[in-house]
Structure 1
């Protein structure tokens, strides 16, 4: 995670403010506003171009946003994640770049996974989780009259994205 010191200082507080705002909205309303993500994307483009020049900044912005989008898009496509979460990680990627957004996504998955397992264990729903995993692992079980996936609930994943992103940023600047 090599990043030059002159790039992180203006980026870190902006990203932290944006992910904290997204997490708090997600916790309260269970959604991440498109206006927040859009403003974050525009701000990232401006800052990347200011720090790296117009061409290199636009390329860095696009590369980070695309990697962030691609990392969580499969989860959205199988209905394991909401679109706002995918867009939020794309915005984070636009700010911090492809390498750091990859690490942020990994940290987010660990934090979100532990949170979800703890939540389902507390609600005594681990049996449903294992049944769902069997259905996912064995596509034949999804045939007519076969077992279906039963929801065990959800968590405001914007909070996990914020925690994962902030932990990676604080580690990268340490």
Structure 2
């Protein structure tokens, strides 16, 4: 198969990956490793077939690292689950480092609007703003001198962020055509 023909499969395959992740995340509130890791593994030979060994390997690596780097800080801050980070790395491995910032921005916008809507619908806006204010105040007082003690209140809940990643990916794929 020619590299141009293979390149036309990258978008549809990526859509399949993020759609599957979104469906599983909605159902189980997690994105399984079998999906993300297999997406990484299959992306490498595809990139090599399209771009050649050296360029394809680098395209895969740069895309994977870019996807990982965009979401990893949010994982460390406990604002995102590991499956979301691994899914974004898979998206980067398939679509390349150049698409990652666009997809991440679209994902953050979609996820932010969705989160605000959920807070409003569930009546959690005031409690969430109070928790954020408490965390910021603790951080300012402690100046990074150890772990911040969180206020002992219930969480506003979690979102299946794989849905936002899928929506951001789809939006940028369709915007780029």
TM-score, reference length from structure 2: 0.88
1:1-174 matches, within 5 Å, as: 8-138=7-137, 139-140=139-140, 148=151, 150=153, 151-173=155-177
Counterparts of 1:58 and 1:89, CA distance in 2: 18
Gaps of 5+ in 2: none
Pick which of 126-135 and 116-125 moved more: 126-135
Counterparts of 1:24 and 1:124, CA distance in 2: 26
1:34-93 CA distance string (max 9 Å, x none): 011111111110110000001110000000000100110111001110000000000000
Is contact 2:7–2:50 with CA below 8 Å preserved after alignment? Answer: no
TM-score, reference length from structure 1: 0.89
Counterparts of 1:161 and 1:32, CA distance in 2: 11
Gaps of 5+ in 1: none
Instruction: Kindly tell me the number of residue pairs found equivalent between the two proteins.
Output: 169
